[in-house]
Amino acid sequence: MKDELTAALIDSYRRAGEEVGYWGHRFLQAVRRNGGVATVKRMLSPRTAGQRAGLDALLEAGRPDLTVEAIILQTKFQSLFTSEELKIAAERLGEYGKEASKRLKTREILYPDELEPGKKYIEGAKKQVRVNAFERNAHARSVCMKHYGFKCIVCGISFEEQYGEFGKGFIHVHHLKPLSLTNAEYQLDPVNDLRPVCPNCHAMLHRSNTVLSIEELTERMNKAMTNKADSADDKIRRG
C-alpha cells in the first residue's frame, strides 16, 4: 500500500503539471527520495513557503482534489496514517474547498473573458488554460505587482487613478513566454516572466496566432496615436 501511495502522489505531480501548469519538482524529489508516507507526514505540519506556493497554484485552479490531503483521505490509504493526521487532512481539505470556491468567484468577477483553469478544453484552448493558471498564481502575481506596480506596462493606465478606490489593485498579468514554448523543467520567475497589463492590452497581445511582444504592441499603439494626431492636424489645416 505504501508503494501505491507513492505512485498516487507522483501521478498527482504529473496531473498538476499537465492540467494546472504547476510542476512541483521539489515535491517529486521528496516523494522519490523519502517515499510517499514520510513525505506526507512532513507536509501535514505547517506548510513551508515552497509548499504553500504549490498549494496556492492548485487552489487558484480550483483543484483541491490534487492536494496530498485529498489523496490520503482515500479509503485505501487511511490505514497508513493516524487518526489525528487524518483529522488534520480532513480539516485542511474542507478549508481548501472553501478557498478554491472563493477564488473562483473572484476570477469570474475580474476575468469573465478568460478560460477557467483546471477544466478540459479542446486542444487549441488548453495552452491558454495553462498560461492562465500560471498568471493567476497568487504568489507569482504578488511578486510581479510588488516589482512593477499596478500600471499597464503598455498603455500606462492605472485603474486606481481612473476609477478611484474601486479600481485599486486591479490589473491583469501577462506571461512573456507562452508555456507552449516551454517544457516540464521550466520554472516561473515572476519578475522576468510576468508583466502587468490592462485587459485591453492583454487581449491585443494574444490577438494574433503569434503572441506579440510588449515592445511590438507599444510600437503599434504609438504609431496609431501618431496617425490619429496627424489626421486631426490635416482636418484643422483644411478648415
Same domain, 182 and 231: yes
In a domain, 199, yes or no: yes
In a domain, 120, yes or no: no
CB neighbour list of residue 136: distance below 8 Å, 6 or more residues apart: 60, 61, 107, 117, 173
pTM: 0.49
Count of CB atoms within 10 A of residue 19's CB?
20
Domain boundary among 51, 75, 110: 110
The C-alpha atoms of residue 176 and residue 193 are separated, in whole angstroms, by 5
β-bridge pairing 194-197 and 172-175: antiparallel
Q: Report yes or no: 90 and 62 within 8 Å, Cβ to Cβ.
A: no
In a domain, 122, yes or no: no
Range of 101's domain? 2-110
In a domain, 124, yes or no: no
Same domain, 51 and 101: yes
pLDDT-based confidence at residue 28 (cuts at 50, 70, 90): very high
The C-alpha atoms of residue 29 and residue 33 are separated, in whole angstroms, by 6
35 vs 179, which has greater pLDDT? 35
Same domain, 152 and 104: no
pLDDT in tens, 178-206: 655 554 445 668 888 889 999 899 889 88
Same domain, 154 and 102: no
DSSP-assigned beta bridge partners for residue 197? 172
Q: End-to-end CA distance of the chain, in Å? A: 86
Same domain, 141 and 47: no
pLDDT in tens, 49-108: 666 778 888 887 788 999 999 999 999 999 999 999 999 999 999 999 888 887 766 554
